[in-house]
A and B are shown apart, each in its own frame.
Chain A
Amino acid sequence: MTTATSAAGRDERLRETTWLRRLFSRPELGSVAGFVLVLLFFAVVAGDSGMFSALGIINFLEVSAQLGIIAVAAAMLMIGGEFDLSVGSMIGFAGIVVALPAVEWGWPLWLCILLAFGVALLVGLVNGTIVMRTGLPSFIVTLGGLFILRGLTLGLTRLLTGRTQIPGLRDVMAGDPLAPLFAGKVGQGLMQWLADMGWIAARADGTPLAQGIPMSIVWWLVLTALATWVLLRTRLGNWIFACGGDPNAARNVGVPVARVKTGLFMFTAVAATIFALVQTLSVGSADVLRGQLKEFEAIIASVIGGCLLTGGYGSAIGATFGALIFGTVQMGIFYTGVNTDWFKVFLGVMMLVAVLFNNYVRRKATEAR
């Protein structure tokens, strides 16, 4: 049956596939190119403002990292064919779940952190179960979750403390075994060395301005790498693509669709909790309004990163670059000294441009196949 062409390992209908062509058919290409554009733009506009000093770079990486943590999860969920609009409210909720018992009731912080993850898994499980059992669009179900969780956060906090903020986390963090995982910094030695060499800015006493790499960046990179590995190299990854591409077909050939999707909802809620912990513990207080609009930012970052809104296509690396574009623009605006009132307008326009560009590149890429 095999013809001579394939016996020779070649097919005359196949053009030479160069690495360039393969690169062009990757979903994340648009966001990488968009990030380079944004970077070039601010290098020209804000090049001498300190944005590209060690501290400036760490600053915009940290902003990107926080969004990136939830964007990677949102991207995986979107590839799996679902949305989670309750991510933002989950961030606020998780912050309170940690801070309330830790500060008000004196529980050990590590226990509160574990509790928060447990609650997150439960919220994800509930979201996923409702979506899978009812067959309703996750957009609607999690929109409900958005209001319920935010309302719970507000209601519980005011009921139990009479305020909408819980400060004083710094005191309970001291000596806690889990807190450094979220609030700590790594690479202090490296930064010190760089400062000693005079390569990065230092204070008068010789300590570097940028003291280390925040844990949020570490979480972000680890999650991106993990998600990419899962999506491209594991059975679960194949299942995620299949669930998003056509859940019916996937189920018919033996993919446990409900389990996969529910798992993704749980992962999203866990990512929101990591975001919340990184933020609350580094600021030292929990606020009921934390995380507002983050669900949309995460979705936008994923879409910029090449995820199809219809599911079944996309990449975690793309979402990471989407988040990078976000963070870079946000801090870029700050460093250029433009009134931050204009940030949202500028952000929206940049997003639109990035998406259009991304879209254009993707069309080119699919033509190139």
Chain B
Amino acid sequence: MTTPLIEVRNVSKHFGSVIALEGVSMQVYAGEVHCLLGDNGAGKSTLIKTLSGVHKPTRGEILLDGRPVVFESPRDALDRGIATVYQDLALIPLMSITRNFFMGREHVVTKGRGLFRRLDVKKANAIAREEMARIGIDVRDPSQAVGTLSGGERQCVAIARAVYFGARVLILDEPTSALGVKQASVVLRYIAQARARELGVIFITHNVHHAWAVGDRFTVLNRGRTLGTFRKEEITREQLLEMMAGGRELEELSAELAEFARADAARAQREAAVEAEVAAELQQELEETRHFAEEERALHRQRRQSQVPE
């Protein structure tokens, strides 16, 4: 068996008295899309933040290529080729698209040496524009402030950036939550491409269709603990969905939905009855008016005829 690209072993993370993670283990292999699923507050973001160097685990260890590593900072993780799309995107609204794109990784677009080492603004703009175009966003002006972009466009900046810099592991924390159908499918294709390039991909989503479409294995977290890791062959989409939401809740939900449907049908029936009544009334009124008008006309004619002899 090959060694996992990146692995967490028995990782716990406590924030003061809050236990965000407790004894979580997970392996991600090269060329695999590993979906991390679970309810709100299950600890998904906390787990991937320990992998990207934002948090240090309270207990447990992280292994890269089978060797234990300690990430002192996100920079450490990035230097080892682990790039992350954070749930909050980690973009600076007042800075331009290009500046955000290369933030923290500026050394790849510098020119000159020594004291004259400087950003190659032209090249940086070109790369940012090109990478954004590949994800399906036409950047009007790469020097535009990120704060003026739409929510989905912003998400695309963060994704394009991570894809560009993720050399070994790509972590995406709900990357498709604000995306249109086209952009979401591009992101899914990116994930598949990254897998083909032998990257390890960790993909967090609440959308079971997205997870099912690209995932090879699924780890489900619940209240800071893992419910286990499942290969796609071992599980059906319905089972997965049930686990993501916690089975009971889903049953209750479908019962509730059925109740809604019944109520809707009853209301529709009532409404139809009322409508029919109104229509009948209208019809009657119309006939009455017509009748009245005819009578009037007849009366008029009569009067005119009686006036003629005079």
Contacts and interface: CB of A to CB of B under 8 A. Distances in A.
Interface of A: 1-3, 5-6, 11, 13-14, 17, 229, 233-235, 238-239, 241-242, 245-246, 248-256, 308, 312-313, 369
Contacts of B106: 235, 238-239
Contact of B119 (A11, A234, A312): A234
Interface stretch (B89-97, B216-224, B250-258, B295-303): B89-97
Given A1-B186, A253-B74, A254-B75, A245 B95 contact: yes
Contacts of B93: 245-246
Contacts of B75: 254-256
Contact of B99 (A3, A238, A246, A369): A238
B46 to A, nearest CB: 14
Contacts of B107: 235
B105 A254 contact: yes
A58 B107 CA distance: 42
Interface in B38-90: 52, 54, 73-75, 78-79, 84, 86, 88-90
Contact of B140 (A14, A234, A255): A14
Nearest to A245: B92
Contacts, number: 105
Contact of B54 (A17, A241, A252, A256): A252
B286 interface: no
Contacts of A249: 86, 88-92
A246 B52 CA distance: 18
A2 B133 contact: yes
A79 to B, nearest CB: 10
Nearest to A243: B92
A250 B133 contact: no
Contacts of A235: 106-107, 110, 117, 119
A64 to B, nearest CB: 27
A245 B104 CA distance: 14
Interface string B157-173: 00001000000000000
A241 B92 contact: yes
B52 A252 contact: yes
B4 interface: no
A241 B52 CA distance: 23
A249 B103 CA distance: 10
Contacts of A245: 92-95
Chain B, interface SS category: loop
A369 B148 contact: yes
B190 to A, nearest CB: 11
Contacts of B129: 6
A133 to B, nearest CB: 15
Interface in B95-140: 95, 99, 102-107, 110, 117-119, 121, 129, 133-136, 138-140
Which 7 A-B residue pairs are closest in the complex by CB-CB distance? A254-B104, A245-B92, A235-B106, A249-B90, A254-B75, A253-B104, A14-B140
Given A1-B186, A238-B99, A253 B94 contact: no
Contacts of B259: none
B249 interface: no
B288 interface: no
Contacts of A229: 118
B140 A11 contact: yes
Nearest to B186: A1
B141 interface: yes
A260 B119 CA distance: 17
Given A250-B103, A253-B74, 18 more contacts: A233-B118, A233-B119, A233-B121, A234-B119, A235-B110, A238-B95, A238-B99, A241-B95, A241-B99, A242-B95, A245-B92, A246-B92, A248-B90, A253-B105, A253-B161, A254-B79, A254-B103, A312-B94
B179 to A, nearest CB: 14
Contact of B104 (A3, A14, A255): A255
B133 A238 contact: no
Nearest to A230: B118
B112 to A, nearest CB: 10
A234 B118 contact: yes
A234 B106 CA distance: 8
**Among A13, A17, A245, A308, residue most surrounded by chain B Cβ atoms (within 10 Å):** A245
Contact of A1 (B54, B74, B92, B135): B135
Contact of B102 (A11, A238, A369): A238
A251 B92 contact: no
Contacts of B119: 233-235, 238
**Among A253, A256, A308, residue most surrounded by chain B Cβ atoms (within 10 Å):** A253
6 contacts: A13-B140, A235-B106, A235-B117, A252-B86, A312-B92, A312-B95
Nearest to B90: A249
A308 B103 CA distance: 20
A250 B73 contact: no
Contacts of A246: 90, 92-93
B138 A6 contact: yes
Contacts of B135: 1
